[in-house]
Amino acid sequence: MFIVLARVDSRTMAARLSDAGGALGIEYVDDLAAFVTAEEPQHPRWVWDDTAAWYPELLEAGIRVERCFDLRLCHAILRSSVLTATSALATAPQGVWDAPPPATATPDRETALFDVEPEQVAVVADPLAEFSLQRAAVAGSAEPGRIQRLLAAESAGALIAAEMRFAGLPWRVDAHDRLLEELLGPRPLEGARPQKVQEVLDVVRDRLESPELNPDSPSDLLKALGVAGLQATSTRSWELKQLKHPAIAPLLEYKKLARLLSSNGWHWLDTWVVDGRFRPDYVPGGVVTGRWATSGGGALQLPKQVRGAVIADPGWKLVVADASQLEPRILAALAADKGMAEAGAAGDLYAGIVASGAVETRDQAKVAMLGAMYGATTGESGRLMPRLARAYPRAIALVEEAARAGERGEIVTTRLGRSSPPGQRFEGWSEARSAADTSRARERSRAWGRFTRNFVVQGTAAEWALCWMASIRRRLRELDDGWFTDAPHLVFFLHDEVVVHAPTGLADAVSVILTEAAAEAGRLLFGDLPVTFPITIASVDNYGQAK
């Protein structure tokens, strides 16, 4: 059964539909929490416009739901998927369901209210009509199974995102503060440089004989370097590393410390860690490829430096799992490349590639694979490509074809049916006024080809990760006889890695679940193809100990 929830004139309505889509009745709901609590034992699939708009208040009320359809996320998939391109949904003009999600909640919630345009509020979206269009689009698809699986996985991801934000990532302010003090010195007054940052900056200024230098200003820094006889074209660390000068080492040190201070210093701590939990705002489907994004807090860029402050509660563990070499394995599976699958069967895919004789070292295998998936043309990676193509023709042909398709302005599609945005067509080179125009057009075309090349791999890897997490979530419920945050639960997700916060006694059971869920994700995407997705699991007290 489906229950479609809608807000109509500030009241909540619920419409029941049978699995076949037949209307079973409609009613007003005065107490949403009570209604959901009463219905959930029947395992309905809740259908709503936006999980972030409905689910947090349920969680606050102590209610969890098993499954849902997030109409806005599903709409985005169906709108652009080649599998549903002829559907009424995909051929309709842009409408409210194509609009970006409303302003998201941040710690300073008050500002979000004023960000919403009045017109946005006034527009009434009809979830029942939209759901009906979506079901028709799926039913009429050439491959309903795939797209249906994608919609379910995407929606499960939305539930998980809300739950992870609700639960929060355990974060010890005292440990973070200690770490900052060790590296930067005691917390300074607002706006002042911490002692150790100031000290290393003093050395830089002294050695560059530039007492007024602002090291945070690239142009100022470049000028000072020039005066010292160092010609650099940028102030990027890797370029500075090439230079020989006594100021370089402290300058690099300064950059490191300044980065930590500005990105994950005391200000970050004050803003994002509340009551011992970091609650980032996850944005499922926030990246074109289907990866999640986050908004605020930089959750997907947590430097390894500060992960030591992510500490399990007393009597609990953090069970950290990451999928080993996920993207190359996804490529092997997509291409049904038996050789590459075999290379990964023993565990270390890169070692397997070396063993096959394609390249000499593990580093070469890694850099060559990355080059294949990203479209490297130069450097060591570019040079190794032909050897990889000889050893694994099917896998390499798949990414090459994705790249050529993109260059022609065509759309590419992931395993479950997420399609790339339409590219521009580049055939109009004849209209180019000059050789420079032509080469610019060619470069744009190639850049789009690199994007589509990567899209199929990154996007399918994102689908695998969603299936993995959905399976983890479902299996963890078996260990849960009360409220989910009192039992093992997901607290963090990073593209190909998850963290489960678990009572110590259940850490082993969680490990089993993580492993089984990975196998299930592989089957969901690729059936019985002999491609394995091994995961590395570490049961630790703090996140810094993993990897």
- Torsion over CA of 57, 60, 63 and 66, rounded to 10 degrees? 70
Among 140, 308, 382, 544, binds DNA (CB under 7 A): 382
Residue 361's region, left for phi above 0, alpha for psi from -120 to 50, else beta, is beta
- Establish if 238 lies at the interface with DNA (CB under 7 A): yes
CB of 322 to DNA, least distance (A): 7
How far apart are alpha carbons 469 and 157 in whole angstroms?
7
CA distances from 251 to 206, 245, 460 (A): 11, 10, 41
- Establish if 81 lies at the interface with DNA (CB under 7 A): no
- Establish if 120 lies at the interface with DNA (CB under 7 A): no
- Establish if 419 lies at the interface with DNA (CB under 7 A): no
- Residue 182, CA atoms < 13 Å, CB-side half-sphere: 8
Q: Which residues pair with 311 in a beta bridge?
A: 542
- Establish if 107 lies at the interface with DNA (CB under 7 A): no
Q: Name the residue nearer to DNA (CB basis): 134 or 364.
A: 364
- Establish if 144 lies at the interface with DNA (CB under 7 A): no
Among 58, 300, 513, 517, binds DNA (CB under 7 A): 300
Count of residues that bind DNA according to CB under 7 A = 63
CB of 119 to DNA, least distance (A): 18
- Measured CA angle at 503 (ends 500, 506), to 5 deg: 85
CB of 237 to DNA, least distance (A): 3
- Segment near DNA (CB under 7 A), from 49-57, 113-121, 125-133, 231-239? 231-239
Q: Name the residue nearer to DNA (CB basis): 63 or 175.
A: 175
- Establish if 355 lies at the interface with DNA (CB under 7 A): no
CB of 357 to DNA, least distance (A): 20
Find out whether 540 and 351 touch, Cβ atoms under 8 Å. no
Those residues with Cβ within 8 angstroms of residue 11's Cβ, 6 or more apart along the chain or in another chain: 28, 29, 30
CB of 286 to DNA, least distance (A): 5
Q: Name the residue nearer to DNA (CB basis): 442 or 495.
A: 495
Q: Name the residue nearer to DNA (CB basis): 218 or 347.
A: 218
- Residue 112, CA atoms < 13 Å, CB-side half-sphere: 11
- Measured CA angle at 376 (ends 390, 419), to 5 deg: 90
What DSSP assignment string belongs to 101-129? Answer: PPPPP-SSHHHHHHHS-HHHHHPPP-HHH
Q: Name the residue nearer to DNA (CB basis): 134 or 458.
A: 458
Which burial class, exposed, middle or buried, applies to 446 when counting CB atoms under 10 A from its CB (0-12, 13-18, 19+)? middle
Among 242, 275, 430, 482, binds DNA (CB under 7 A): 242
Site residues for DNA, 421-480, by CB under 7 A, read 447, 450-451, 453-455, 458
Tell how far CA 390 is from the center of its chain: 32
- Establish if 362 lies at the interface with DNA (CB under 7 A): no
Site residues for DNA, 164-183, by CB under 7 A, read none
User: Under DSSP, is residue 213 helix (H, G, I), strand (E, B) or coil?
Assistant: coil
CB of 59 to DNA, least distance (A): 22
What residues make contact with DNA under the rule CB under 7 A? 214, 216-220, 234-239, 241-242, 255-256, 259, 262-263, 268, 283, 286-289, 291, 293-298, 300-305, 322, 363, 367, 370-371, 374-382, 447, 450-451, 453-455, 458, 494-497
